[in-house]
Amino acid sequence: MSIQIIPQSEIDILELVKRIQQGQLLAIPTETVYGLAANAFDEQALKKIYRLKNRPENHPLIIHIAPPKIEDEQSVFWEMELSRWSSDVPPQAIVLAKAFWPGPLTLILKKSRHVSHFVTGGQNTVGIRVPRHELTIQILQAFGSGLAAPSANRFGRISPTTAQHVWEEFSNFIGDESLTILDGGQCAVGIESTILDLSRIDLVGPVILRPGMITAEDIFSVLGREVTTNLHSEIKHSGGVLGHYAPQTLLISKETDALCEADFINGKIGVVTFGDVQELQKRWPTQFVDWYSLPKDPNIVARDLYGLLRDLDIKGYQKIIFDQLPTDLAWFGIQDRLTRAIYGSGQH
């Protein structure tokens, strides 16, 4: 496989657009995670995404589009742009686009007939968002169309939040694909976007299918109507598989104040805690455990979560114990990722 990382200082936007038009794959930075991107209308390129990720073809992709330029009238722009991808654009989609895009919110709408089934996973809905990263916005504006871009990692594994993470995922892949990784620095948000279903809004209202750092309260504050959550919707969407975002090392969740001798029986472990590490070290000698301290700030934990899990996964621990998270709504998206990571972990 031909793979390269291009530092941001050496990036040529027009050359990257040319590669997209030729059916090549780009690993693009966003504020959430790095995406494995291809022309949303190029079915051969879309097949490359599924093949490289080992992703089931009935697992839909999210289309990334550009925001309006300064001179554009926003309402008119969003009505026209979303109508390229959707056969039914509810007024709430325009309101949310103006409030949250660019940003970590994906809207599920009824798809237009032009959208490939390789994007939608064979469904009649499509996911759309605008990433908040200047480099990727420049690419999207120069390209003039949408990029389908799931996370740039092997299916089910830990999502990448740096260019190096993407390299680690695919550098040993054997195949004839070429991949250009654009180094846009560490992702600022760190977990995937909130996915909000508007495709049935007249029947069930707005429904969160995947929580993220934009919460139900945030959406309510803009729409002024109740927002429900359904993590088991019949609508397939990115990140909807139960075992996902997972390290190969066994990962469990447990209050670190409740650790006991049985936790240390089979070898050294890594423990991620909100607690006082010095106090915990007094109780548990360091030959049994490595401690990793967490701040009680959901934005920092989200930003660093996947990088931390990747680092812990290569330490050779018997298992990783992750402290239980606060139950505030701001932590809901992080809890979702951690729950899925726990379920899929330990599969060497």
Q: What are the pLDDT digits (tens) for 307-348?
A: 999 999 999 999 999 999 999 999 999 999 999 999 999 975
What percent of the chain is modeled with pLDDT above 90?
83
Instruction: Name the domain count of the chain.
Output: 2
Q: Tell me whether residue 240 is in a domain.
A: no
333 and 258 together in one domain: yes
Same domain, 186 and 293: no
Residues 195 and 272 in one domain: no
Domain enclosing residue 99, as ranges: 2-229
- Domain shared by 303 and 192, yes or no: no
Q: Which of 194, 229, 264 is the last residue of a domain?
A: 229
Q: What is the CATH number of the domain that holds 290?
A: 3.40.50
CA angle 151, 249, 268 (to 5 degrees): 145
Q: Are residues 36 and 114 in the same domain?
A: yes
Q: Is the same domain home to 218 and 290?
A: no
What would the pLDDT profile of 75-133 be if each residue is shown by its tens digit?
Answer: 999 999 999 999 999 999 999 999 999 999 999 999 999 999 999 999 999 999 999 99
Answer whether 85's CB lies under 8 Å from 128's CB: yes
Distance CA 245, CA 313 (A): 12
Do 36 and 150 have their domain in common? yes
**222 and 270 share a domain?**
no
Say if strands 178-183 and 25-28 run parallel, antiparallel, or are unpaired: parallel
CATH number of residue 75's parent domain: 3.90.870.10
Please report, for residues 45, 131, 301, the alpha-carbon distance to residue 157 in angstroms, rounded to integers and kept in the order given.
Answer: 22, 22, 18
Evaluate whether residue 241 is within a structural domain.
no
Residue 239 lies in a domain: no
Q: Is residue 264 part of a domain?
A: yes
259 lies in a domain?
Answer: yes
Q: Are residues 184 and 77 in the same domain?
A: yes
Looking at the fold, whether 225 and 103 belong to one and the same domain comes out as: yes
Predicted TM-score (pTM) of the model is 0.96
- Given 197, 229, 261, the domain boundary residue is 229
| C-alpha dist (Å) from residue 343 to 204, 258, 335 | 29, 21, 12
Give yes or no: residues 216 and 274 share one domain. Answer: no
Specify whether 263 is located in the same domain as 314: yes
Q: Is residue 238, in this structure, part of any structural domain at all?
A: no
Question: Measuring CA to CA, which residue among 148, 170, 145, 174 is closest to residue 160?
Answer: 170
> 135-171, pLDDT tens digit by residue?
999 999 999 999 999 999 999 999 999 999 999 999 9
